[in-house]
Structure 1
Amino acid sequence: MHPLFLLFLVLLGFSSRAAPVPADTLHPIGPDRLLSYTYANDLFFRTDYYFTQGMTLTLVHPALARLPVRHLLLSGPSGSTQYYGLRLRYDGFTPLRIQDPFIRVGDRPYAAYGYASFFRISNQPARHQLLTTALELGFIGPAAGGKELQTAIHRATGNAEPRGWDFQIRNAPIVGYRLAFEKQLAAASGHVELLGTTEASLSTLYTYASTGLRLRAGRLNPYFSSLGLAGQSSWQLYGQATLEGRLIGYDATLQGGLFTSNDPYTLAAGAICRTVLRSSGGLVLAHEKLSFEATATWTSPEFTGGRTHRWGLLGVTVAF
């Protein structure tokens, strides 16, 4: 079993048996208990290159507040409701042609990573704002299983097997800290919300700063009312769209590990696009304790000579 998923199962068992952490009058802990899974793949747009597939598994539970690493995460202003979560993430990347058994110079390197993100959300419904801080630990390289996963999927589906994974980014640690802030900018008739977003990451995987907008419209519960699925409406059906501009400092999936130099092939720093535009759009359908999401994402070129790219994502969330 993959060590990251073993960690997740251990913490899932811990959270199911542990009593909720006593409420803090300055920073009360929200009662929400959520389990969600997402799967992303560019196959939805009939391509098989660049970001080719990814998965996340997320648990939000009050008992995670017992973990000592919470002290490394910002608590936000007094009175904000605290939520604690653990997310496991895997992503895989390839060049344009996976059938070539050689290094495609000037193209994207093969790369895969997996990491665990312990995060803390500080929500202020009265001010319509939310702060998220996260500590991320994991690894990039063959240990993430990118070669084995893509090969198995392509064999099962009868597609061409990838032949260049032996030239992938080598094993290197991922250590990072991420901070994100969201604020409501406008709302209308309880059916439309416009949010402003800012985010920064300092990591051996991705170092960047970004700003953007999120639009939600339809039958929906207020974004800042709760992290859970319960709210004013038992049924929700809404569309959402995002637009984000990102300033890139470092990208290990293109440049290799920050402190390693044994990669078979990487792109030079001068080949990295330092400004990247990303947009997404999708639909969410939710009823009481169950939610489904379908989203399409587009990104501008990430390196010199690269193409724009699109992929789709499907997700499910269960409150328990």
Structure 2
Amino acid sequence: MGATLCAAALLATEAMASECQSVLDQISRPTVSLRVDNDLFGGRSQDQGYTNGLLVTLVSPSLLDYLDDPFLPTAARWINRGLTWLQVDDFDQINMIASFGQGLFTPEDHGPSELTPDDRPYAAVLLFSVGYNARKGDHLTTNQLRLGMVGPSARGNEVQSSVHKVIGSPHFNGWDHQLRDEPVFQLLHERMRRHDLPPVPFARGSGLSQDMITHWGGALGNFGTHANFGAEWRIGWRLPDDFGSSPLRPAGENTAPPVSGNTYRGWAGHFFVAADVRWVLYDLTLDGNTWKNSHSVDKRSSVADVGQGIAVTRGDWKFAFAHHLRTREFREQKELPVYGSFTINRRF
């Protein structure tokens, strides 16, 4: 019995509620995710480009609706009443996403205190996002609204200096030339589809399985405007009933809870390879401030990311580590950017 039907049963009759309670105990729980990105995890001793990111995400349990579901707190219902235009109508299952994060961007050379015109600007951004997942079978639609601030108010200099002091890394001296304070927004839309693949020929009977998750979408806003598409291939034991493990893009980890209420309590794990290609019309961290004069570089219009990693789950916990390689983002960039990410998920 699906999550929506069971939730309706709980609100309807006591008899049907008892039949559905065991399912709801599994799928009516939120998930909290912590993701850390850093180029030091890339294995090439880089400290440049997208150099550090921290993202905390809360994914709601399966919901009856976005306005009156008993699992939603009052603040979430108030937000949802103002964002009905962002919500998807056609679904079997829905849930809500909220996240808060910081991203830091620096040039290659940490030494100069003067502006380096042939390298990317110093930039820091704080972002809060609200989004909605709508699942229909093996299809998932995700819409998100991201609001935040770029500039000194995002405290990139203070955060990087404190971390580098603890780990003994060099201090970056050019933060006086970072992008100026500017409010930012971004609308994100992405569609994903999960494809079951044939059994692995050399591992029949071992429980090893594989699947493919394709995606396409785009973003619009003064933080960034682009169109993107890509895919993720996974192979492993007891693949999760979700839509991917790779945080290559903003919607990559915000997947819906599984349709089935059966959570495997033992160990499970898989290997994944993911790719994403973007046609970039605007990137504030490269093009500079929208309404103010600032440092900028000549960005490339097409950028691709390739990542690979492993994900391990046990009961309500999930751990994933990924290594990412990105093509050059602007004309003067010398090295291909690399970074690593570590993600911890916990269902409550």
Query: How far 1:216 moved relative to its partner?
Result: 1.2
- Residue in 2 aligned with 1:240? 272
Out of 177, 189, 193, which is 1:167 matched to?
A: 177
TM-superposed CA distance for 1:140, in Å, is: 0.7
Alpha-carbon contact 1:186-1:194 (below 8 Å) kept: yes
* 1:319 maps to 2:347: yes
Matches within 5 A, 1:275-314: 275-306=302-333, 307-314=335-342
Would the aligned equivalents of 1:205 and 1:257 in 2 still touch at CA under 8 Å?
A: no
Shift of 1:231: 3.8
2:87 paired with 1:74: yes
Asked whether 1:88 is paired with 2:100, we answer yes
* TM-score of the pair, normalised by structure 2: 0.78
Name which of 131, 153, 165 aligns with 1:155: 165
Q: Is 1:261 matched up with 2:289?
A: no
* 1:227 to 2:226 alignment: no
The Cα of 1:210 is off from its aligned counterpart by 0.4
Q: Which runs of 4+ in 1 moved over 3 A?
A: 22-25, 228-233
Residue 63 of structure 1, aligned match among 61, 72, 88: 72
Please give the root-mean-square deviation of Cα atoms over the aligned residues, in Å.
2.2
Higher share of residues assigned strand: 1
Residue 23 of structure 1 and its aligned partner are, at CA, apart by 5.2
Aligned residue number for residue 9 of structure 1 = none
For residues 298 and 174 of structure 1, the distance between their equivalents in structure 2, rounded to whole angstroms, comes to 26
Give the secondary structure class of the aligned counterpart of 1:239.
strand
Aligned partners of 1:144, 1:227: CA distance in 2, in Å? 32
The structure-2 alpha-carbon separation of the partners of 1:181 and 1:76, relative to structure 1 and needing over 3 Å to count, comes to: farther
Cα drift, residue 254 of structure 1: 0.8
CA gap of 1:168–1:212, structure 2 versus 1, over 3 A, is same
Structure 1 residue 131 and structure 2 residue 144: aligned?
Answer: no
What secondary structure does 2:40 align onto? helix
Q: Counterparts of 1:24 and 1:80 in 2: how far apart (Å)?
A: 13
Structure of greater Rg: 2
Q: 1:42 aligns with which of 20, 39, 44?
A: 39
Count of residue correspondences:
288
**CA–CA separation in structure 2 for the residues paired with 1:209 and 1:221:** 28
Hey, what's the Cα distance between the residues in 1 that align with 2:256 and 2:280? 32
Q: Are positions 1:178 and 2:188 aligned together?
A: yes
Distance 2:262 2:336 in 1: 38
Distance across 2 between alignment mates of 1:245 and 1:173: 27
| Structure 1 residue 257: Cα displacement | 2.5
For structure 1, which runs of at least 5 residues remain unmatched after alignment?
1-21
CA deviation string 1:170-212 (max 9, x = no partner): 1111112100100124423472111111020001101000011
User: 1:24 offset after TM fit, Å?
Assistant: 7.1
Shift of 1:242: 0.7
Q: In the aligned structure 2, how far is the partner of 1:275 from the partner of 1:69?
A: 35
Check the 8 A contact 2:263/2:315 in 1, yes or no: no
**How far off is 1:232 after superposition?**
5.6
Secondary structure, counterpart of 1:153 in structure 2: helix
Identity of matched residues, %: 23
1:74 positional shift? 2.7
Q: Does 1:249 align with 2:276?
A: no
